Structure 1
Amino acid sequence: MKKLFLYVFVLSFLSSCISSKKLTYFQGEPAEKSDLYRLNNEPYRLQVNDVLYIDIKAENPEIVALFKNSESSTTTEGGEGLYFTGYTVDRHGNIRIPYIGDLNVLGYTEKEVREKIEQELSKYVKKVESLFVTVKLAGINFVISGEVGSPGTINLAQNQVSIVDAIASAGDITTYGDRENVVVVRKTLDGVQKFKINLLEIDVFESENFYVKPNDVIYVAPLKQKTWGFGATGLQTFTTLVTVFSFITTTILLIQTF
């Protein structure tokens, strides 16, 4: 009986601890630059629900002011402020600009949208060369949940957000998070897509899904050790197992007494 208890104790201890290999990011050696580097650095193409920051400047500020949503849209604001003063891509792929009306931007890059706006403004402004139009995506908005420090909806005011940026902005993955099983759910023009990313491997930097897209949903699954309820470290597991086996031994002794 004692040998059986010892065997079960050792087996449970070894299987319940979280090894350092499960917690160490970017293991291995980086591969040579591939074609994925080019794909990951291609400009983003706008989708429905994206929010744009658009600023227009010219010699005559009174004229260009007519084409702006509001004066506050020319200032630098966070994601919440730009929700009201920015230009949201509607479900038809259009943004609505005063006097210009609906302008289709679905699938366009920031540069292409800027050129379209300049072309429309040239109908109203005599000195086209004096126009200076700025078009930027109003940050990358995404949702992150699961085994992270601070789950929720996050907006990062960056042109590109990698999966590493996203995880870091959410307070990193907890000890019980499965770094091999980070799931990204993405809604595209072709439908909903689902990807799995392994953050333990250095090859993640070469993944075509390394960069987060606006409105992505990121989920970090828990390790099986969390379900077992033992502990993340060897000391925690040892303490838990000692408590459990002490309870079992005490129960057996009481039964034998009676």
Structure 2
Amino acid sequence: MNKMLFLIIYIVILTSCVPHKKLVYFQGEPIKKEEIHKVNDIPYKLQTNDIISITLKSKDEELVALFNSSNSSDSNFSNNLNGDQLYFTGYTVDDHGNIRLPYIGNLNVLGYTIEEVREKVRSELKYYLKFDKNIFVNVKLAGIQYTILGDIDSPGTHIIYQNKVNLIEAIANAGDIMDTGDRTKVEVLRKELDGIKKYTVDITNIDVFDSEVFNILPHDIVYINPIKTKSWGIGTTGLQTFTTLASVFSIIATTILLIKSF
């Protein structure tokens, strides 16, 4: 009976431990030059509720002063923006896909890339300003905002002030995945034209760099699934499992002895 009990405990400990292979990122054979993984690099197209910063620069500051007044009278303001300032001073894409600009009024930017918006603004301003090559139009996305949940060190909504953010940067920015998180089944939920889509990627595999969701987009939701041993509640290491099982059997033994004493 005792041998059987110890055998059961031993098997449970072995099956409950997280294999080293599931904790190591980017596993795979060394990559040859002709096999270098190409990162998905499709330009982002603006969606509703995105916030963008648009500024004009010119030798004649009075010429662009009205346009930039919604941002700041300081011509260097665009170099020192943060999320709070951009919320109040940037241009938000409304439910109809428009932003409202000085001179121009409503300008539809839904589905356009940042470069296309820059060209569109420049083209429209020709009707209102004495436009020449000395006027520089600068358009930037106000960072990449995403939500990350599950077995991550710092879950919640985060903003990274870059034009592009990949999945690895998003995870690192949230403090990395905990030992109880399943790195082989990281889910990315994305709103697309035909509805919400869910993608599953394995970041322990070097092929993650080829994934169509390797570069995350604004409003993406990243979910880190728990490993099965966490669901069972018996620990993620051999020591944790042994301690848990020892406690359970100790309670059972104590209960049996108390019952027999009556």
TM-score above 0.5: yes
Q: TM-score, normalised by structure 2?
A: 0.90
Identity among equivalent positions (%) equals: 53
Gaps of 5+ in 2: none
Is the 8 Å Cα contact of residues 13 and 238 (structure 2) preserved in structure 1?
yes
For residue 187 of structure 2, the aligned residue among 183, 186, 200 is 183
Given the alignment of the two structures, is residue 131 of structure 1 paired with residue 143 of structure 2, yes or no? no
Matches within 5 A, 1:118-157: 118-157=122-161
The more displaced of 152-161 and 221-230 is 221-230
Give the match for residue 211 of structure 1: 215
Match of 2:249 in 1: 245
Does 1:70 find its partner at 2:98? no
Aligned length: 255
Q: Which amino acid in structure 1 is aligned with residue 117 of structure 2?
A: V
1:227 alignment partner, SS class: helix
Task: Decide which of 193, 214, 226 is 1:222's aligned counterpart.
Answer: 226
Whole-Å Cα distance in 2 between the matches of residues 74 and 231 of structure 1?
Answer: 49
Output the CA distance in 1 between the equivalents of 2:83 and 2:191: 20
| Rounded Cα–Cα distance in structure 2 between residues aligned with 1:192 and 1:13 | 39
C-alpha deviation, 1:257, in angstroms: 4.8
Query: What aligned pairs does 1:42-57 form with structure 2 within 5 A after superposition?
Result: 42-57=42-57
- State whether residues 185 and 201 of structure 2, in contact with CA within 8 Å, keep that contact through their aligned partners in structure 1: yes
Q: Are the counterparts in 2 of residues 93 and 106 from structure 1 also a CA contact under 8 Å?
A: yes
Equivalent pair of 1:87/1:96 in contact (CA under 8 Å):
yes
2:116 pairs, out of 112, 116, 122, with 112
Deviation at 1:215, TM superposition (A): 0.6
User: How far does the alpha carbon of each residue in 1:178-222 deviate from its partner, in whole angstroms, 9 at most, with x for none?
Assistant: 111111111122221111111111110111111100010111111
Structure 1: gaps spanning 5 or more residues = none
Which amino acid is the alignment partner of residue 16 of structure 1?
S
Amino acid paired to 1:53: S
Deviations 1:11-56 (A, max 9, x none): 211122112122111111266246xx37x12321111111111110
TM-score norm. by structure 1 comes to 0.92
The letter of the residue matching 1:67 is: F
